[in-house]
Amino acid sequence: MGKFVIKPAAKDGMMFNLIADNGRVICTSQVYASESSCMSGIESVKTNSRSKIEDQTVEGFKKLTNPKFEIFMDKGDKYRFRLKAMNGEIVAASQGYMSKESCKKGIESISRNAADAVIVKEEE
């Protein structure tokens, strides 16, 4: 079972990481203004952790409705994913991956870990 780690970010913000059993970060959130909005972001990841995948690296890809995972190439030619909630807001984003297969495994890890993940608050 994974865990969400909430921690301080920026001057007065909060963010979270979803950590897998092996201790690796699966995805990271944006910076939220408050702990309660950060908790809402975590709930959104839990709710949307089994969403469909829109592979934007394929020519002529079909645009899917939200919620969804989007796989895309970053400026450094690495594969990344982001999870968009029903309202279109990005609630989680990945690190860069060298292969699309590894990127897809990151999405699978969210599906396995997010729903039952515990929430831990890291102090400053």
Which residue's structure tokens are 């079972």? 1
List the chain pLDDT tens, one digit each, 124 residues.
799 999 998 778 999 999 998 899 999 999 999 999 999 999 999 999 999 999 999 999 999 999 999 999 999 999 999 999 999 999 999 999 999 999 999 999 999 999 999 999 987 5
Q: Tell me the residue range of the domain where 88 lies.
A: 3-121
Number of domains in the chain: 1
CATH of the domain at 42: 2.30.29.80
Supply 21's token pair.
């059993």
pTM of this prediction? Answer: 0.92
